[in-house]
Structure 1
Amino acid sequence: MTTVSQTEFHPWTGSAPLVALRTHRPELPEAEARVADAVLARPELVTSESVSDLAARARSSTATVVRLCRRVGFDGFYRFKIALAHEVGMSRQFGHPDLSADDATTVLESVLVADAREIADAASLVKPTAFDQAVDAIVNATDVLFAGVGTSGPLAQLGALRFLVLGIHAIAVQDVQAQDLTARLLRPGSACVLISHTGSSKETVGIARSARAAAATTIAITSFARSPLARACDIVLSTGNRNDPRTLELFTSRAVHVSLLGALHAGAAARLPVGADVFQSVSEVAGKHLY
């Protein structure tokens, strides 16, 4: 099976340069990283700067500034600046709210809109070829292990349940050692879906390596495209992240990853002729737990 290269830089093709810079900051060359840091530190200032001003502030060159703009999907500094001005304005209007605000309705709306923007960003960041490969791997697998630790653990459980409903032999276990052991017992034809917001969890990366050593196809769901988990997996579904990589943006990333699991489930459902016996079994089980 052909997999997505983990060394290929995926240019941002949307309209949110801050998301692209934060997501890909870890793998930028040093000179471009200085420019990215200057933009992330004072995005409002950049909207009124010339390319020379930004280059001087970043202790870099105008050529480096332009190169970074092109790397994240814009054909020059001018268009980058227009997109940045739009994003800064949207961030002021729809960014994370002050949680000390007295207006509960404002907080509720702001948080939900912020989550919606994260999901919209992911639609542009996730590579269609990688998504298609992930769906194929899951649909054609003899069995699928969903793995994740911490706040990703419940998502692994949810993923396994959703695909089990389609008649796919999907499993998820809670204990970390049990996950690793299960991964080691996978075989050629198996698939393993690993979920981690940061992509830097030692346990999750270890499980990915165990699954790969067993010749299973490994699929990463993460917010960071150049994380250790991404490097350890065959297929990478990177959703991006609007916040500094050092910030634990647990709630927003969970919403994005839940939506991505839903998209994978929908993709698999479209390719699988789910039999009446499966629907009957699901209905019977669900009926037992309802009044």
Structure 2
Amino acid sequence: MNGVLYKVRESFATVKPAEKVVADYILHHPEDVVSMSIQQIAAESYSSPSAVLRYCKSIGYEGFKDFKLKLAGDLSILNMHDLDKQHLEPGDSIKNVMTVITHNNIQSLHESLQLLDVEELTKAYRYLTQAKKIDLYGVGSSYLIASDAVQKFMRINRPCTAYSDFHMQRVSAVNLGPEDVAIAITYSGETKQVIECIQIAKSQGAKIIAITKYADTEITSLADAVLFVAAKEDEFRSAAMTSRMATLNVVDILYTACAHEEYDDALFHLKRTHEIIQQSGEKGGNKQHD
């Protein structure tokens, strides 16, 4: 998959009106578009062939043929897994809720995998393996993801912090240096508090990693490495459910890449932290298994 339909959905906020009608037609008729000519799409969307071509290039494809080829590949996988066809409505059965939530999460992970750039990911995890300190910034559900990252990286002896208090986030950011890394977690890419902390961290010389949606946002302009995630939220899926799953997956990828880069050292610290936690659990009368 290449995350084509995701890119089309996300492009609505940034493309010009003449290209937005093209995006709208593609989003509502993806199966038809695969077998249509550029002239046919232009006619059906009340645009022009040049607008269709500009739109395909604006979302990262070489041209119309390249776009159609990637779209066809995406649709074959979506149809294979019966993805992107499930929606929740009031009064749905619990069985349908189970199916829709699971399928949407699967789709988000599939699309995010295609949006991840190997070069950007390689830069990101190498920044982390070389960092003296890692700071993570997030608000709301993004802060919970940052806390999860701290729990993981601390177990392989990568010093890191994530504060829920905005003032402490800024204090932490101003104490970073050129040997440190700041990770911004914001799906919108425009979270004011996170951007302010990243601006401070960058001014101190720290490397910046952004985990965010596929778009040109303020956070992507500040980052040294950008890791895109995909999500499909609707009115029944509050609390950033699919974006949370996709972002947690990126954190797991970064953590595992760092651990494998310094395999013996990471394994030593994992065993040691596991033994200490087990001993603590036994003294307290409860064994810890996390």
TM-score, normalisation: structure 2: 0.82
Structure 2 equivalent of residue 20 of structure 1? 7
Kindly provide the amino acid, as one letter, of the partner of residue 171 in structure 1: T
Q: Does the alignment pair 1:113 with 2:103?
A: yes
Q: Does the alignment pair 1:221 with 2:211?
A: yes
Gaps of 5+ in 1: 1-13
Q: In structure 2, how many angstroms separate the alpha carbons of the residues matched to 1:133 and 1:286?
A: 35
Structure 2 equivalent of residue 124 of structure 1? 114
Of the three residues 266, 279, 284, the one matched with 1:274 is 266
More relative contact order, 1 or 2 (CA 8 Å, 6+ apart):
1
Q: Does the alignment pair 1:69 with 2:56?
A: yes
In structure 2, relative to structure 1, the CA distance for the partners of 1:25 and 1:235 (3 Å cut) is farther
Of the three residues 154, 178, 183, the one matched with 2:173 is 183
Of the three residues 197, 208, 214, the one matched with 2:187 is 197
Q: CA contact under 8 A between 2:134 and 2:181: conserved in structure 1?
A: yes
Between stretches 33-42 and 140-149, larger displacement belongs to 33-42
In structure 2, relative to structure 1, the CA distance for the partners of 1:248 and 1:21 (3 Å cut) is farther
Q: Percent identity?
A: 21
Structure 2 equivalent of residue 4 of structure 1? none
3-state secondary structure, aligned to 2:266: coil
Kindly provide the amino acid, as one letter, of the partner of residue 215 in structure 2: A
CA deviations over 1:134-191 (Å, ceiling 9, x no partner): 0000110010001101110111111111101111111111101111121111011000
TM-score, normalisation: structure 1: 0.82
Q: In structure 1, how many angstroms separate the alpha carbons of the residues matched to 2:13 and 2:74?
A: 20
The size of the alignment, in residue pairs, is 276
Gaps of 5+ in 2: none
3-state secondary structure, aligned to 2:47: coil
Alignment of 1:15-54 (within 5 A): 15-28=2-15, 31-40=18-27, 43=30, 46=33, 50-54=37-41
Structure 2 equivalent of residue 5 of structure 1? none
Q: CA deviation at 1:40?
A: 2.9
In structure 2, relative to structure 1, the CA distance for the partners of 1:105 and 1:172 (3 Å cut) is same
Alignment of 1:164-183 (within 5 A): 164-183=154-173
Of the three residues 262, 285, 291, the one matched with 2:277 is 285
3-state secondary structure, aligned to 1:274: helix
In structure 2, relative to structure 1, the CA distance for the partners of 1:34 and 1:90 (3 Å cut) is farther
Structure 2 equivalent of residue 234 of structure 1? 224
Structure 1 equivalent of residue 129 of structure 2? 139
Structure 2 equivalent of residue 6 of structure 1? none
Q: CA contact under 8 A between 2:22 and 2:47: conserved in structure 1?
A: yes
Q: CA deviation at 1:200?
A: 1.2
In structure 2, relative to structure 1, the CA distance for the partners of 1:29 and 1:287 (3 Å cut) is farther
CA deviations over 1:37-68 (Å, ceiling 9, x no partner): 33235546646765334213444321332343
Q: CA deviation at 1:281?
A: 3.0
